[in-house]
Structure 1
Amino acid sequence: MPGFEVLYQAAALCLMYPDDGFRTRLPLLREAAPQLRVFADHAAVTPQRELAAHYVEVFESGHRDHSLYLSVWREAAPAPSEDLYRAHGLRTTGEEPPDFLPAVLELAARTGTTQPLTDHRDGLESLRTGLTSFGTPYASVLDAVCATLPPAVTAGRGVRLPRP
């Protein structure tokens, strides 16, 4: 899946908490990754405080099907570890665990390795579905990421659920 590095980097930035510098990056994100324009356009017209409150509501308020941590989703593959980052000459900041989706997207963007994303395709699809059902513009970010990956392998197994 080469060629999606810019999209992955932009998606990682979209899925981070919208800090003070977030709004200044929006024009670049919008131009660099047209697939993310729905989200970028929404974020551009939403007041900073409202955008931050929405992020907290979506990702930090205990919605079990909105987790940005790959280890939460029941998958056959283990979640990415510090060793994976080191194997590619990268280090995590330590602020978030290595299975934090924005970190994994940044890993894919910097190295071209999409294995952690494809290994957790079912969980990403479940996250996308949960965000879509919630009616959040963040769903469009997952739509764009999932569109770059091979189809989910859920046939006969049902939808993946987050761990209790």
Structure 2
Amino acid sequence: MTRHPDPKLPADQLTIAWQAASLLLDYPDESLQLGLIQQAAGELPPFLADPLAATARELAANDLSTLQQRYVDTFDNRRRHTLYLTYFAHGDTRRRGVALLRFKQTYLRSGFVLDESELPDHLCVVLEYAATVDQRLGWRLLLDHRAGLELLRLALADAGSAWHGAVQAVTATLPPLGGDERAAIDRLAAEGPPQEEVGLTPYATPGFDPLPMPTFPGTRR
């Protein structure tokens, strides 16, 4: 991992923001406690609390079956909305397999063993790891994939997605973008991820072409 600046926000605020975003971005089911998430977000400064609360309000305005269908339409059927962070940088290339391995090795450094049903680069997994297991290493993972996070945020904003606020809150916990980072985001938005499609080992990866991609509902709860 490259060298990164230290967080400027208190550790407890990072924990609340990342855990709340992880729950909001997960596949919605009966265990989703939006009121509790809003209550926890209320302990954060407005630039974090407001976007999290906005997502919670929009989700609460839909019944569960509608919400689940909207989630699938948003995250499983659109490449620019994928929650798998390594896809933005590597697409379905062999380099993505190496990037996935680095995620898992990072988790193992903290004694965190991931359920084999999930890929280690799923944003909800990364946020939960950063919030509850190892904040320092989780911070680095998020910064290493900053360009993909920002592209996801912009794509959800353009689509008017209910989940935009959750991703906005995550990016708001990170340092201001530098010139090189902005250039990387612009390049990624213009060119997209690499197109070579090869077998990825040792992990099975979600299919981005053809769509849809699979989801793993409820496993983080």
> Aligned in 2, Cα 1:33/1:155: closer, same or farther, shift over 3 Å?
same
String of CA shifts for 1:68-101, please: whole Å, max 9, x gaps.
00110117x9455221111112111122100000
Mapped to 1, the partners of 2:122 and 2:183 lie a distance apart of 28
Deviation at 1:6, TM superposition (A): 1.2
Deviation at 1:38, TM superposition (A): 0.3
The AA in structure 2 aligned to 1:89 is G
The AA in structure 2 aligned to 1:4 is L
1:128 is matched with which residue: 146, 153, 156? 153
CA contact (8 A) 1:64 1:162 kept: no
The AA in structure 2 aligned to 1:39 is T
Counterpart position of 1:96: 118
Counterpart position of 1:154: 181
Counterpart position of 2:207: none
In angstroms, what is the RMSD of aligned CA positions? 2.0
Q: 145-154 vs 112-121, which deviates more?
A: 145-154
State the structure with more CA Rg. Answer: 2
Counterpart position of 2:70: 54
Counterpart position of 1:40: 56
> Aligned in 2, Cα 1:29/1:74: closer, same or farther, shift over 3 Å?
same
CA contact (8 A) 1:132 1:139 kept: yes
The AA in structure 2 aligned to 1:37 is A
The AA in structure 2 aligned to 1:86 is L
Q: Which of structure 1's runs of 4+ aligned residues deviate more than 6 A?
A: none
CA contact (8 A) 2:86 2:145 kept: no
The AA in structure 2 aligned to 1:147 is A
> Does residue 1:4 correspond to 2:14, yes or no?
yes
> Aligned in 2, Cα 1:159/1:137: closer, same or farther, shift over 3 Å?
farther
Structure 2 runs not aligned, ≥5 long = 1-6, 43-48, 91-97, 196-221
The AA in structure 1 aligned to 2:146 is R
Q: 153-162 vs 79-88, which deviates more?
A: 153-162
TM-score of the superposed pair, with normalisation by structure 2 = 0.68
> Aligned in 2, Cα 1:94/1:42: closer, same or farther, shift over 3 Å?
same
| Alignment length (residue pairs) | 161
Mapped to 2, the partners of 1:54 and 1:125 lie a distance apart of 21
Deviation at 1:17, TM superposition (A): 0.5
Mapped to 1, the partners of 2:17 and 2:117 lie a distance apart of 23
> Does residue 1:144 correspond to 2:169, yes or no?
yes
